[in-house]
Structure 1
Amino acid sequence: MGKGKKVILLLLVAIMIIGLVACSSSNDKPNKGESSENTDKKQKIVAWAWDKNFNVAALEEAKKIYNKDNPNVEIEIVEIAQNDVIQKLNTGLSSGTTSGLPNIVLIEDYRIQTFLKAYPGSFKELTDVVKYDDFASYKKDFMTMDGKSYGIPFDTGSAVLYYRKDYVEDAGYTEADMQDLTWEKYIEIGKAIKEKTGKHMLSIDPNDIGLFRIMMQSAGKWYVKEDGSTPDFADNEALKEAAAICKEMLDTGIAKTHTDWAQFVAGPNTGEIASVPTGCWFTPSIMAEKSQSGLWRVAPIPKLSKAKDATNASNLGGSSFYILNEIDGADVATDFLVKTFGSDKSFYETLLDKHGIIATFIPVQSGDVYGKEVEFFGGQKIYSDVSELASKIPSVNYGLHTYAFDDIMKAEFQNIINGTDIDTAMQNAQKQAESQVK
């Protein structure tokens, strides 16, 4: 072999060796969807959520914690209205065009079953990744379909009764009287407060039936039966009792009407409203009126008297985080959520201490932060009290039609207010609901 040919052969061998080394090196690095650990490659994930003082604030705290150990992951948090989240997700997932969608998205608990059913395979399964026993059981049920779980539970919508201790005492009742209430007893106290102080016991928006949902779930009932699809109006004793109670509160004059959120918040803040039965997320709104510090207390909601299995625990609202499967970075997004929202006790203590966010992560509830006395509520340990209630919330299957059935019930409640018999109204609602799900 000539000298020139030997040189060429040596060059070819060298090129082959370099190629093999390069391939080996690239195979050692994680793909786009894998955890950022042990790589210098910059990776980016995007999260969508609404409410900058609550959900977005929680994501920002999680980002700070995660980036300490994972500085090469860029986490972009986008504040986006809940209705826009729903619209954009539906548009992208139904068309199969996922461009522009995030890795992580916050979805309301009432809506998640609809997404899981409509877009199978679009959300990352986390059954064996998240320790669901660390969360309130009712939250896991929302995000589970066919035995597989898909989200990381977040906040609690535990329903509570905020009440003015001074108004209650002016009417001749005590704090002990506000425990283990029935709705009948609540109305009785409301009448006494109205007579003695001139204040309304609560305010109601006839076009917002959140109270109906609170009362139904407190008895383990919903607009649908346990299968999540069969409408349940005509024979739903909890729903009928809820309608009767709300009508009585309006008829007796203990309820003042409001038409929007601003009026709802203004009621207790101006001192015109003696109590607010709603989700615990209302705490910052109550505390916004600092001049009322020491006057408010928190009790469990009243319970239904006629409905079977009625309790003093329920839920209103709440949401959880989900990961989109088909977006690059799904595994990094999973790593981020699991190491923060999925398992970090100190992270949840920070959320409560700095932002007043009460979550459904059970291990944190025995900590000092949850057990602290809150001066605004007369030194009551409201966070531990709310957390205890969360553990007692009956699980229900929200199914796929909560908001559509909400609209039906709103219209029928207006008819009830105007004199329609409750049984007749519920039979009408049953027919409308059945026609929608055919």
Structure 2
Amino acid sequence: MRRRMNKIMAAMLIGAMTASLALTGCGGKKSASKDGKKELTVWAWDVALMQLEEAAEEYQKDHPDVTFKFEEMGTDQIYKKLSTSLATGNGIADIIAIEGDVLVGYADKFPEGFLDVSDAINTDDFLASKIGEVSYKDKIHAFPWDAGPAAMFYRTDYFEQAGVNPEDIQTWDDLIEAGKKIEASCKTPSGDPVKMIPVDPKKSSLYSMIRGEFGIGVFDEDGKPIVDDERSIEAMEEAKKIYDSGVVLNYNGWDEYEQTVVNESVAAIPEAVWMIGTIKDKGPDTAGKWSVMDLPKVDGGEYSVSNGGSDLTINAKTDYPDEAKDFVKFAMTDTKLQASGFEKYGLYPSYIPSYEEEIFQKGDSFFGDTNIYEIFIENGKNVAEIPISPNAQEAGDSIGAAVSKIFLNGADVKSTMEDLEDELTTKFK
């Protein structure tokens, strides 16, 4: 998912500090109601909640003894309540949706907080990168849910006008050359030159995407920072080259990101599959003018990349572990439900058998005659299993600051990344 919380670790600390205060009024053990039914409480945000409500309705057809109480919360609300509840063992839902890049932080701080669902998952049926995301210290702490395999959305009309063949864009250098042609040939509806791609110069998105093509993250499998690894440095140098080329459009924050679609100001957007919904919502008049191609590759990069996604955890102290596990398994592995969740809410399944459902076979006419899902299906299978550190969220601000120095202030890449390595090493001893 797109939402991010920059102060996850702070929320965890606050939760731990206020644990004693939270013991009162958090609710204790619950039991089956008089009619013998068992109630499962679920915490999730907007579209995730709607998908789970649909799954519950189907599940109850064969399990009338199980009822559900759904509580809609934003991610920040969930994480604040989750920190306190895991610290005290009280007041926590049975089933909790959580973003994939946040999960390991909670699994590390509260190793007994979530039910180990290793016995309920056939790992071969899920995208390998998502299994890596939910696995930590010999446990599987959640069921993988939606994934974010990435590709390059591009405007076919701008490409044609500039004489750019998408098949000729194999490397990031090719992208730069194509961007120069497009800027020289194409105008936005307001008369401004069209830029190639949008970039936030204070965020790590472009660097992270190129780094992911090397199959590495910010930390290694032992939790050691590796931002001064030669591949990481090369990824940052490549990102700087793209930024310095002048073919990018600066943006600041999500609202301005969406405006690049509204204003028709860029010819391409390197992003995850969930961008389909944003493009259709913000640019309805551009139907038929978009298509999708693979991301350009960095020399030596052999992997596809992913951005965003969520998972579904179960409270380890639930009164109904068997029922909770059975429902979550049903919700995450029923292919028709997974296809419906993608079609209605943009939740791209990480459960591989789902891709046999009709929606993934027929594509989306908004993006032309080519089935755009084929590229996301293949790319999702080729994302590296990159170790996720419990410190990844907290490291994000430091990485963003380094990117800003390099992009906006012209700082030397190698020395900046070495300084970043020292900072992260000291910070996370």
TM-score (norm 1): 0.85
Secondary structure at the aligned position of 2:60 is classed as: helix
Q: 2:183 aligns with which of 194, 210, 225?
A: 194
Correspondence for 1:47: 42
Structure (1 or 2) with the larger CA radius of gyration: 1
Q: 2:208 aligns with which of 204, 213, 216?
A: 213
Q: 2:349 aligns with which of 352, 359, 371?
A: 359
Gaps of 5+ in 1: 1-30
Structure 1 residue 132, shift from structure 2 partner: 1.9
Deviations 1:16-71 (A, max 9, x none): xxxxxxxxxxxxxxx9789x9xx951221111122x2x322221221121122223
Q: What letter matches 1:191 in structure 2?
A: K
Contact (CA 8 Å) 2:210, 2:239: kept in 1 or not? Answer: no
Question: How do 1:356-435 residues align onto structure 2 when only pairs under 5 Å count?
Answer: 356-417=346-407, 418-435=409-426
Question: How do 1:234-249 residues align onto structure 2 when only pairs under 5 Å count?
Answer: 234=228, 236-249=229-242
Structure 1 residue 70 and structure 2 residue 59: aligned?
Answer: no
TM-score (norm 2): 0.87
Correspondence for 2:8: none
Distance 2:380 2:393 in 1: 23
Moved over 4 A (4+): 31-34
Q: 1:80 aligns with which of 73, 76, 85?
A: 73
Q: 1:259 aligns with which of 229, 241, 252?
A: 252
Distance 1:275 1:88 in 2: 39
Distance 1:327 1:314 in 2: 35
Question: How do 1:14-413 residues align onto structure 2 when only pairs under 5 Å count?
Answer: 40-50=35-45, 52=46, 54-94=47-87, 97-178=88-169, 181-197=170-186, 198-227=193-222, 229-234=223-228, 236-288=229-281, 289-305=283-299, 308=300, 310-311=301-302, 313-341=304-332, 343-413=333-403
Cα RMSD (Å): 2.0
Q: What letter matches 2:103 in structure 1?
A: I
Distance 1:335 1:260 in 2: 39
Correspondence for 1:13: none
Distance 1:304 1:252 in 2: 16
Deviations 1:237-281 (A, max 9, x none): 333233223333332221111112111011022211111111111
Contact (CA 8 Å) 2:142, 2:311: kept in 1 or not? Answer: yes
Deviations 1:182-203 (A, max 9, x none): 1111111111111111201111
Distance 2:207 2:350 in 1: 23
Q: What letter matches 2:328 in structure 1?
A: L
Distance 1:312 1:230 in 2: 22
Distance 2:375 2:78 in 1: 32
Matched residues, number: 393
Structure 1 residue 77, shift from structure 2 partner: 2.1
Secondary structure at the aligned position of 2:119 is classed as: coil
Distance 1:90 1:352 in 2: 29
Moved more, 240-249 or 316-325: 240-249
Contact (CA 8 Å) 2:164, 2:181: kept in 1 or not? Answer: no
Structure 1 residue 148, shift from structure 2 partner: 2.4
Deviations 1:298-322 (A, max 9, x none): 11211112xx4x1351011111101
- Cα 1:238–1:283 change in 2 (3 A) is farther
Deviations 1:106-153 (A, max 9, x none): 122212222212112211111111222111111111211233212111
Structure 1 residue 167, shift from structure 2 partner: 0.9
Gaps of 5+ in 2: 1-28, 187-192
Secondary structure at the aligned position of 2:86 is classed as: helix
